[in-house]
Structure formats: structure tokens, C-alpha cells
Chains A and B, each alone.
Chain A
Amino acid sequence: DAGVIQSPRHEVTEMGQEVTLRCKPISGHNSLFWYRQTMMRGLELLIYFNNNVPIDDSGMPEDRFSAKMPNASFSTLKIQPSEPRDSAVYFCASSRGTGELFFGSGTQLSVL
């Protein structure tokens, strides 16, 4: 099993640009999570999906952030327009619902 796959691994962009982060969960997992990690705020849950349906997006910071899961094997997190304060490591994780989350290696986002 390849694990949770995230792309890109690193993203550098300019303020105002659109950023799209991608995630492929582990096959057979029915839950998918997007987390953001910063030094100041630690790990924050942004949104999670169960069976491709968004269940809780209360952690999404503002309307500039959106997430989709069109099928069981793919999810995106989009930021439009991006701002310097969005700079962070974004993690995708998947789960079978047992409480064990399997994390991807993350996307290091830098917004200049």
C-alpha cells in the first residue's frame, strides 16, 4: 500500500494566486481529513469527509478555503486568493473510522 499521497510536496506562490493541494487517500478508507500545521497554532483540523461527504468544515478559516472530494480516491483543498498567513504545512489523512489516522507527508505552502 502506497499510503496517503499528497501533491505537491512544496508550493511557493505569490499572494493573490490560487493554490490547489491534492490528496489520494488509502484505498478502502472512508474518512478523509485536512489538517494545517503551523508553529503558532499547531495542528488544526480544517475539514473532514465521510464517504466523500463533507461532515464538518468548521475549521476552515474563511471563504477563501474550499475542499472537495469528488470520489473516494481523490480530494482537493483550494485557497483562492492565497495570503502570506496561509503559509503552513497542510496534511491530508485518511481513516477507516477506527481512530487511527494515516497521514500523508504534507504540502509545505509558502505564500510570498
Chain B
Amino acid sequence: AQSVTQPDIHITVSEGASLELRCNYSYGATPYLFWYVQSPGQGLQLLLKYFSGDTLVQGIKGFEAEFKRSQSSFNLRKPSVHWSDAAEYFCAVGDTGTASKLTFGTGTRLQVML
């Protein structure tokens, strides 16, 4: 069965600092991978997705993620964090048979210090 691990429950960074959120997945074939963001009291919003091709994918709000098959990882990065990036971030893996059936990680809460 597919699974996702986000080892960091909570991360605090200063505004303007770089950010990397870790995600490791378990899946038998080439996975579909996603990062979603959830602001307080809201549903989740897609930041970016990887299906195939270039292993470095660009998303909205200046985020990017790199798929590394050898490490079963799909880490999310941003070179300079803004205070408005404070939120919870979820990594997810999709079933290649049904791309939309996603399994989510437990999330990483990002706090940004001004």
C-alpha cells in the first residue's frame, strides 16, 4: 500500500530564510506526488504536482519540489519564505490507476518569525 512520511511535525523559520520540507513516500511504481497547503480554517490547495518528466517541478507561490527516486523523496523548497507562507503543508502520493485517490502525510506546520 502507498504511504507518505513527513518527518517534521513543526518547523519554524525566519522571514526571508530558505525552507525545505521533507517528504518520503512508499509506492511500488513511479508515483504521482503532490504538495498541498492548508491555511487555518480552510481546505487544502494544490501547490505543485509531479507525474513524470523533469524531476524538478515548479509550483505556485514560488515553491518548487524535487523528485528523487533513489531516495524515495519529494522535498518542498522555497528560497525565501514570506510571513504569509505560515500554514500546514501536506505531501501526498496518488495511485497511478486513479491519480486522484490520494494518500496524505501527517503534515508539517510551518511557523514564520518576523
Contact = CB atoms under 8 A, between A and B. Distances in A.
B43 A97 contact: no
Contacts of B99: 97-99
A101 B44 contact: yes
B42 A99 contact: no
Interface in B58-114: 90, 94, 98-107
Interface residues of B, number: 23
Contact of B105 (A42, A56, A101, A104): A42
Interface string A95-112: 101111101111000000
For the complex of A and B, the 4 pairs showing the least CB-CB separation, nearest first, are A103-B43, A99-B99, A95-B100, A43-B104
Interface of A: 4, 31, 33, 42-43, 45, 48, 50, 55-56, 91, 93, 95, 97-101, 103-106
